[in-house]
Amino acid sequence: MTQELHTLGVAELAALLDAREVSSVELTRHLLARVAAHDALGAFLAVDEEVALAQAAAADLWRDRGIHGAGHRLLGVPIAHKDIFVTRDFPSTAGSKMLEGYRSPFDATVVSRLAAAGAVTLGKLNCDEFAMGGSNENSAWRPARNPWDPARIPGGSSGGSAVAVAARLVPAATGTDTGGSVRQPASLTGITGIKPTYGRCSRYGMIAFASSLDQAGPMARSALDCAHLLQAMSGFDPRDATSAEQPVPDFVAETTALRPGATPERPLAGLRIGLPAEFFGEGVSAGVLSAVRAALARLEQLGATLVEVSLPRTELSIPVYYIIAPAEASSNLSRYDGVRYGHRARVYQDLESMYRASRSEGFGAEVKRRIMIGTYVLSHGYYDAYYLQAQKLRRMIADDFQAAFAQCDLMAGPVAPTVARPIGSQHDPVAEYLADIFTLPASLAGLPGLSVPAGFGEDGMPVGLQLIGNYWQEGALLHAGHALQQVTDWHRQAPPL
Ligand code: GLN
């Protein structure tokens, strides 16, 4: 029995725990041993057996006393958090030397909500420094490795989360997505991940990158498991001024319930899926394209209708995002001054040189690049030419989505133009930015996006299908993803470890 525990998902483990077929302590021990055995994948930055086992013992006690209910659906289920979320019980570094050894005096809201739902935390997961990147190579600590081929990137910035879930070290993990960081690593490692509507999950305690874009999201092996986590993670938080006072539906029910006009054989009957022409053009690899088309064919068999739509400013989302995100980052990262917390240089002459030395030593190359770009586009004389223009285009990109949603209920396309590349094979930052083309539009518009496994492309590496919904339509995305996962087994494929 314990031999297979790691192959089970969130809902299955919760059922086993409820049936007392396994205790949370046994399950936690089993997964901690797996985490240790696969340390070379670089998924985790911090693990604390004592903390995890104490949480697991507490969960077992709660269950024994019969004091858990509907709000504690994750009671005793082990998960792990991207190191962008601050935590009291574990160090929080954001993948940066700047925060080496930093301990937060409080938990992020997403972390405390998952704990309140009963989840047990095994540790903190690797990521690109301050979530800037799409490969995990920007982690100051170590790269994370794709379990399908450890010589390749797992994607990023939530790379450690994707690796941990894909390698069956944890059934689910948290990630964050500013311009694709939940969806793209999910796609490159063959797991499921959803970036909710901006404002759905609290950003309180999420180390800020670009505040108008940052969103937390769950990563798991199925759409249904993502629904279980999202349920706990969502909801208004007075501590985040941009958190929305939007009712949280029953995501699990929305994921599984039959919709009006649908039948069990054709659960997606009546659903119009728009295919943005710009998502199927040049630049998408043949393997990715054929996997995505095969997944779309399955959605059609499930009753969905495919319609062609257009998002004419898709290409512009790259310059727009790479102006707005660095602009916000340059402001957010000004707090790392070596005074209040974080790294401080040992050698300096005066205050000014202390700032300079601390920031030069603490930040990595990509973070410095973005601080410089951001400072430049916000500077007097350039603000109107870059930042203001980008804000106007951002609005137009959001309007394009609304025009397209007049013709469809969801949109679909690839998540990333290619499968995962080898670690160390990309030295051109602009080329790396271009690969974000399919995830940036929904981010700029604040729309929810789901990545679900769609089989395999070049060299047998995983490919993800992206589904984009209108505001607050996470349930509809998860429903379509779940329907697909009822008739396909791409999401059940495990990497050969
Ligand atoms: N790859 C994008 C970037 O480098 C997105 C990162 C993210 O979503 N955090 O900014």
> Domain-by-domain residue ranges, the chain?
2-266
* Helix-strand-coil split of the chain, %, nearest 5: 45, 15, 45
Residue range 387-419, pLDDT digits in tens: 999 999 999 999 999 999 999 999 999 999 999
Ligand 1 pocket, residue 217 CB under 6 Å: no
Ligand 1 pocket, residue 214 CB under 6 Å: no
> What ranges in 43-193 are assigned the alpha helix state H?
49-64, 109-116, 159-166, 183-189
Instruction: Give the C-alpha separation, 301 to 262, whole Å.
Output: 13
Rounded distance from Cα 464 to ligand 1 centre (Å): 17
Ligand 1, atom nearest to 209 Cα: 9
Ligand 1 pocket, residue 133 CB under 6 Å: yes
Ligand 1 pocket, residue 131 CB under 6 Å: yes
Instruction: Give the C-alpha separation, 77 to 172, whole Å.
Output: 9
Of the residues 157, 158, 234, 451, only one is catalytic, namely: 157
Rounded distance from Cα 314 to ligand 1 centre (Å): 16
* Catalytic residue flag (residue 368): no
Count of residues in the chain: 497
Of the residues 92, 104, 135, 181, only one is catalytic, namely: 181
In order of 194, 212, 294, 324, 389, the CA distances from 394 in angstroms are 22, 11, 32, 9, 9
The Cβ of residue 111 has, within 10 Å, a number of other Cβ atoms equal to 28
Ligand 1 pocket, residue 132 CB under 6 Å: yes
Instruction: Give the C-alpha separation, 446 to 304, whole Å.
Output: 25
**DSSP code, position 141:** S
In order of 45, 265, 295, the CA distances from 160 in angstroms are 8, 37, 26
What confidence score (pLDDT) does residue 298 get?
A: 98
Which one, of 127, 114, 278, lies nearest residue 209 by Cα?
127
* Catalytic residue flag (residue 135): no
Q: CATH says 2-266 is which class? A: alpha beta
Rounded to an integer, what is the distance from CA 233 to the centroid of its chain?
A: 13
What confidence score (pLDDT) does residue 66 get?
A: 84
Q: Hunting for tokens 């690049």 — which residue is that?
A: 369
What lies within 8 Å, CB to CB, of 190 at 6+ separation is 148, 166, 453, 456, 462, 464, 490, 491, 493, 495
Of the residues 23, 24, 82, 222, only one is catalytic, namely: 82
pTM higher than 0.95, yes or no?
Answer: yes
H or E element: which one contains 283?
A: none
Cβ 459 vs Cβ 419: under 8 Å = yes
User: What string of DSSP letters covers 298-363?
Assistant: HHHHTT-EEEEE--TTTTTHHHHHHHHHHHHHHHHGGG-SSSSSS---S--SSHHHHHHHHHHHHS
Instruction: Give the C-alpha separation, 161 to 157, whole Å.
Output: 9
Rounded distance from Cα 126 to ligand 1 centre (Å): 14
The angle subtended at Cα 397 by Cα 394 and Cα 403, nearest 5°, is 145
Which one, of 237, 202, 235, 236, lies nearest residue 216 by Cα?
202
Q: Which residues of the chain have pLDDT under 50?
A: none
Mutational test site, ligand 1, from 85, 158, 181, max ligand atoms within 8 Å of CB: 181
Residue nearest to atom 3 of ligand 1 (CA): 133
Instruction: Give the C-alpha separation, 89 to 91, whole Å.
Output: 7
The Cβ of residue 203 has, within 10 Å, a number of other Cβ atoms equal to 23
